């Protein structure tokens, strides 16, 4: 049934339960075939009735074989649609990606070079050779890498290979921010005041910034994705911004040209999805709200926007289509706008490729944008009119990254996924990923783990499903940003729609600290921790009572378990008893009933606390009695919980638990770190440690480990590559002075001195690869 396309709405309407014949459900053009519906969750990708009449024509001949010039989740995404269309696929990969998911999914795979992107995924010669070797008729570039590279599209055209994207003229016109702004003005599209030429050097950047008036935005003329962008509020920041932006632009796009424009403070970032063909037709497929960002990169997106009314939406859509028609745009593309509090909107840029956040548009319109791109590339006209495009329901996307959200809202983390389980068993959930258990997150590529999308009939339902999905997402082996994502979507300002691009820095001015427990949530956590401890003890007793044992066993008679739980600097008295799967727990005088299956082998545990459903993750349980619990999304909090347990009749001597200090990097509002890493108490999990009464008494006499004085050391807050070292032993440095620059995932970060002093030792040099916490420089 590869040629039969079915929407989730049609499945639900027909009462599909996984057993009924799919022949009854051939209602129209949509995203996924039946065999793929369970993976993406049937309720997520609903198709509006207005589009159900448009069927995937099996007689439409497109391509026999397509090469995907990308990696990771977007390569997997394109391959899925190609399979549904009956198109064979070719994956390219670097040597370190040889076992990646996209390589396994494709019909063929070709290695195009070593790990660095410049030698593999940006290596046009190697990719062109792969095309010739495999006989691919077309290339889908995904996003990033060569997706907006005019020279690559030109090379393909010279070899009679179709580029699944716009023509070279549109790529050049819209990919160059300077030229695109001039064209936008000509097409009567609202634009931001600024300098329309190329900025030559730092001195000219300062002169232009003064003429425009601070604050200004310095950004790369080519590319996108937040790379090569800086906000400058004065001359010094303009000079630094010019240096870092030009270096990042050259590294990411091979083009170091910059432009400067007025920075609109506290705007919303709202974009319009457009779709054009080679016959002069163009549509706007509604908007996406992308205002939740860190370092100019999007974190949470949704469609539609809670802020726009129908009149503003139509005006933005019509201007986006006018711009697309002005350059004869023929593919899927995105026109980005900044929108102020009065709903005035200004053209920001146009991305001439498939956007990372395209799934939310697919959810509310029912269109498969990859399929539409392939059809258009083959020369077919669009199948829909503007009046056919609906807003059906609400969709939210969270970008799940291998990042530490407690450091500048997300500095990259690397490692291997020891355990990985997507929450696709939940209704209304779609996960676009390109990883599996055992996959490596390396320093060479973007640290994205997946795109988590939820769909609902309205915004409230979509957000509730996202909250549940984040709680049910199992990621072990790398640090991730689920705690931050969950806090964003439950924040009162976000729920009301009171957001802008400075949302994170406004809500968390001192950086993200994790979830702050209310009194009720604290009691729930203490009750759950107590129940987990008792359940594990009871399970251990049952294991000892083997039915074939010849040694008589005396069952310990324990009616209640007395626990002393230390949370932050407070000690809480807890008494727990059980009756089957239900534990009765008294916490500081409050009684709670906790019910669960208590399957301690499962990575997820659903718990009912007096009618309130919670999903927790017991991240670890050590033989010594230590348990790490993920609760309400938090996997690192500003407090440690230490539990001392004394059963009424027996206990076990265990070692005391010591806290760990973690570095924290203050968010500065720009893409580089303006200060050296600061130390503060923060912990990765809620930790529980059990001691007997005697051990608890003896623990009072144990010496506390003295915390290391880190004011004289500079350590790397993330894994990366040292780009430059600005000091040598014997140099005097002032507080805030740049010591070195580290590049991680193509973002350059300035490491600065935490105090004034003399450099004692330098432990790194340009070109070195460093890990998180590695010592870089020591001061006397």
Catalytic residue among 287, 349, 357, 642: 349
How crowded is residue 64: how many other Cβ atoms within 10 Å of its Cβ?
12
3-state SS class at 605:
strand
Here the tokens at position 676 are 């050296």
Q: In angstroms, rounded to a whole number, what is the distance separating the alpha carbons of residues 619 and 476?
A: 8
Alpha carbon distance 482, 459 (integer Å): 20
Strands 194-199 and 108-113: unpaired
| Three-state SS at 430 | strand
What count of other Cβ atoms lies within 10 Å of the Cβ of residue 256? 18
Q: How far is CA 435 from the centre of its chain?
A: 14
Q: Tokens 């926007």 belong to which residue?
A: 305
The strand ranges marked E within 541-632 are 561-567, 570-579, 582-587, 590-595, 605-609, 612-621, 627-630
Could you please report the per-residue DSSP string of 632-688?
TTBSSBS--EEEEEEESS-----PPP---EEEE----SSSS-SSPPEEEE-BSSEEE
- Catalytic annotation on 362? no
User: Residues with Cβ < 8 Å from 698, sequence gap 6 or more?
Assistant: none
DSSP state of 384: -
What token pair was written down for 337? 């706008």
Distance CA 164, CA 16 (A): 35
Residues sharing a CB contact under 8 Å with residue 501, sequence separation 6 or more, in sequence order:
266, 267, 268, 269, 291, 293
Query: In the chain, what are the helix, strand and coil shares in percent, each to the nearest 5?
Result: 30, 30, 45
Question: Pairing relation of β-strands 108-113 and 88-94?
Answer: parallel
Catalytically active residues are 349
């Amino acid at each position: 049934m590869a040629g039969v396309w079915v929407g989730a709405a049609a499945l639900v309407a027909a009462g599909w339960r996984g057993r009924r014949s799919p022949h009854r459900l051939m209602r129209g053009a949509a995203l996924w075939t039946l065999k793929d519906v369970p993976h993406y969750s049937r309720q997520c990708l609903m198709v509006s009735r207005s589009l159900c009449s448009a069927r995937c024509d099996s007689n439409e001949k497109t391509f026999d074989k397509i090469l995907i010039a990308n990696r990771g989740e977007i390569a997997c995404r394109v391959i899925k649609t190609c399979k549904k269309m009956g198109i064979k696929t070719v994956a390219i990969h670097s040597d370190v990606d040889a076992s990646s998911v996209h390589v396994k999914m494709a019909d063929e795979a070709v290695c195009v070079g070593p790990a660095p992107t410049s030698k593999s995924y940006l290596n046009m010669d190697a990719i062109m050779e792969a095309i010739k070797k495999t006989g691919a008729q077309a290339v889908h570039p995904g996003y990033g890498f060569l997706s907006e590279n005019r020279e690559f599209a030109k090379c393909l055209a010279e070899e009679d290979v179709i580029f699944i994207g716009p023509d070279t003229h549109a790529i050049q016109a819209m990919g160059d921010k300077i030229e695109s702004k001039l064209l936008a003005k000509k097409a009567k599209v609202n634009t931001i005041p600024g300098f329309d030429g190329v900025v030559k050097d730092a001195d000219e950047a300062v002169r232009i910034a003064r003429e425009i008036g601070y604050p200004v935005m310095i950004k790369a003329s080519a590319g996108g994705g937040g790379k090569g962008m800086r906000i400058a509020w004065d001359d010094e920041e303009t000079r630094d911004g010019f240096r870092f932006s030009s270096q990042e632009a050259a590294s990411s796009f091979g083009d170091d040209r910059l432009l400067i424009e007025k920075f609109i403070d506290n705007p919303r970032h709202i974009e319009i999805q457009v779709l054009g063909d080679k016959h002069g037709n163009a549509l706007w497929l509604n908007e996406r709200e992308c205002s939740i960002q860190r370092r100019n990169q999007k974190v949470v997106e949704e469609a539609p926007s809670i802020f726009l009314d129908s009149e503003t939406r139509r005006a933005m859509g019509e201007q986006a289509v006018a711009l697309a028609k002005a350059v004869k745009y023929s593919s899927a593309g995105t026109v980005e706008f900044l929108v102020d509090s009065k709903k005035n909107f200004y053209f920001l840029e146009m991305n001439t490729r498939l956007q990372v956040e395209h799934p939310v548009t697919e959810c509310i319109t029912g269109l498969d944008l990859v399929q539409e791109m392939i059809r258009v590339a083959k020369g077919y006209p669009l199948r829909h009119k503007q009046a056919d495009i609906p807003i059906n329901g609400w969709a939210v996307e969270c970008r799940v990254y291998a990042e530490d959200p407690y450091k500048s809202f997300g500095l990259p983390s690397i490692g291997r996924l020891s355990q990985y389980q997507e929450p696709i068993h939940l209704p209304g959930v779609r996960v676009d990923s390109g990883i599996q258990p055992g996959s490596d997150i390396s320093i060479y590529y973007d640290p994205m783990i997946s795109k988590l999308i939820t769909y609902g009939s309205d915004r409230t339902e979509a957000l509730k499903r996202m909250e549940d999905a984040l709680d049910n997402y199992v990621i072990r082996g790398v640090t991730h940003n689920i705690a931050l994502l969950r806090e964003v979507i439950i924040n009162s300002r976000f729920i009301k729609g009171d957001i802008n691009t400075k949302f994170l820095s406004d809500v968390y001015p001192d950086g993200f600290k994790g979830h702050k427990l209310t009194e009720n949530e604290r009691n729930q956590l203490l009750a759950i921790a107590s129940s987990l401890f008792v359940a594990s003890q009871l399970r251990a007793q049952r294991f000892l009572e083997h039915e074939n044992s010849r040694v008589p066993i005396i069952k310990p008679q324990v009616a209640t378990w007395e626990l002393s739980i230390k949370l932050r600097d407070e000690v809480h008295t807890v008494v727990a008893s059980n009756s089957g799967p239900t534990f009765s727990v008294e916490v500081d005088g409050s009684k709670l009933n906790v019910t669960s299956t208590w399957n301690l082998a499962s990575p997820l545990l659903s718990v009912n606390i007096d009618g309130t459903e919670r999903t927790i993750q017991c991240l670890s349980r050590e033989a010594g009695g230590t348990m790490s619990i993920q609760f309400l999304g938090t996997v690192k909090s500003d407090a440690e919980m230490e539990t001392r347990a004394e059963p009424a009749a027996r206990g076990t001597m265990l070692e005391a638990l010591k806290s760990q200090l973690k570095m924290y990097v203050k968010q500065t509002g720009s893409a580089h770190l303006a200060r050296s890493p600061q130390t503060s108490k923060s912990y990765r999990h809620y930790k529980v440690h059990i001691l007997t009464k005697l051990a608890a008494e003896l623990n009072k006499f144990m010496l506390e480990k003295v915390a290391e004085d880190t004011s004289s050391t500079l350590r790397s807050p993330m894994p990366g590559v040292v780009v430059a070292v600005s000091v040598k032993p014997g140099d005097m440095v002032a507080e805030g002075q740049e010591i070195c620059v580290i590049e991680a995932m193509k973002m350059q970060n300035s490491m600065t001195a935490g105090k004034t002093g003399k450099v004692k030792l330098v432990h790194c040099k340009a070109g070195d690869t460093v890990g998180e916490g590695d010592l870089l420089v020591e001061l006397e």
